[in-house]
């Protein structure tokens, strides 16, 4: 594919899976909602032979569907959706990436942004930039996430210190850190700081 999967429209992305002729019809039948479309079985006749493109498109459709769903309901009521979303976003990357989900007062996702990108083993994260972006979006809370390409989900001392620094910095502007996730390697393992008692 010439164009990056992430930059395709919903219709064009669906077209990768089912062909451009059927994509618009399928979305129309689902009232334009990716969430609704993905919860209905896809007819086998629409399958494409290009497995790699199909899998990439499917993963991106699921990620977009989850983003759409998280923008309309309390993410604390659907922690599995958050984990799946982060797994799709961060698994299998060969470099560390630090992502922030910005939430409104009802814990709905306002924005999901890759804030910092690093090397195989580390990423420089600047709390000032996270606070600045939180203010710009008028977010009431955040969920932090980063990946460990090494495949180990265990937090380092630096991960724990950074989380506490961000928590203290964001508290100054009355924004809460709800969780910090580490997605390991291919996404089979995801650690939650909140579940581990590290927040």
Cβ count within 10 A of residue 66: 26
Whether 94 and 122 share a structural domain: yes
Whether 124 and 177 share a structural domain: yes
Domain final position from 70, 92, 111: 70
Whether 63 and 82 share a structural domain: no
DSSP summary character for residue 41: P
Is residue 47 pLDDT above 80, yes or no?
Answer: no
3-class SS of residue 95: coil
Whether 92 and 144 share a structural domain: yes
pLDDT tens-digit series, residues 148-186: 988 888 999 999 999 999 999 999 999 999 999 999 877
Mean pLDDT in residue range 80-97 = 84
Listed in sequence order, the residues at least 6 apart from 190 whose beta carbon sits closer than 8 Å to its beta carbon are 83, 86, 87, 153, 181, 182, 183, 184
Beta-bridge mates of residue 142: 102, 177
Q: Which of 91, 140, 95, 86 is nearest to 113 (CA)?
A: 86
Taking the complete model, does pTM exceed 0.75, yes or no?
no
Whether 43 and 83 share a structural domain: no
pLDDT band at 125 (very low <50, low <70, confident <90, very high): very high
Cβ count within 10 A of residue 107: 18
pLDDT at residue 21, rounded to an integer: 66
CA distance 5 to 62: 13
Mean pLDDT in residue range 80-101 = 86
- Domain total in the chain: 2
Greatest mean pLDDT among 3-12, 27-36, 160-169, 187-196: 160-169
Domain final position from 21, 36, 70: 70
Q: What tokens does 175 get?
A: 């924004």
Whether 96 and 158 share a structural domain: yes
Whether 87 and 66 share a structural domain: no
Greatest mean pLDDT among 36-40, 47-51, 89-93: 89-93
Is residue 140 pLDDT above 80, yes or no?
Answer: yes
pLDDT tens-digit series, residues 62-84: 667 666 666 667 665 667 778 88
Q: Which domain holds residue 145?
A: 75-196
Whether 89 and 163 share a structural domain: yes
Whether 103 and 179 share a structural domain: yes
pLDDT at residue 160, rounded to an integer: 95
Domain final position from 49, 70, 91: 70
CA distance 196 to 37: 35
Report the chain's mean pLDDT, rounded to a whole number. 78
């Amino acid at each position: 594919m010439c164009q990056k999967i992430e930059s395709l429209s919903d219709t064009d992305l669906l077209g990768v899976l089912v062909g451009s002729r059927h994509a618009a019809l399928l979305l129309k039948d689902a009232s334009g909602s990716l969430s609704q479309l993905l919860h209905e079985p896809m007819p086998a006749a629409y399958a494409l032979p290009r497995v790699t493109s199909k899998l990439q498109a499917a993963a991106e459709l699921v990620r977009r569907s989850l983003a759409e769903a998280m923008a309309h309901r309390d993410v604390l009521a659907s922690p599995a959706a958050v984990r799946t979303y982060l797994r799709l976003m961060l698994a299998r990357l060969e470099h560390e990436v630090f992502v922030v989900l910005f939430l409104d007062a009802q814990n709905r996702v306002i924005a999901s942004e890759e804030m910092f990108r690093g090397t195989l083993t580390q990423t420089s994260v600047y709390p000032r930039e996270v606070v600045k972006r939180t203010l710009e979006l008028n977010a009431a809370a955040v969920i932090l996430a980063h990946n460990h390409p090494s495949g180990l989900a265990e937090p380092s001392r630096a991960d724990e210190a950074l989380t506490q620094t961000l928590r203290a910095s964001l508290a100054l502007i009355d924004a809460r850190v709800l969780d910090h996730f580490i997605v390991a390697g291919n996404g089979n393992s995801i650690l939650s700081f909140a579940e581990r008692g590290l927040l």
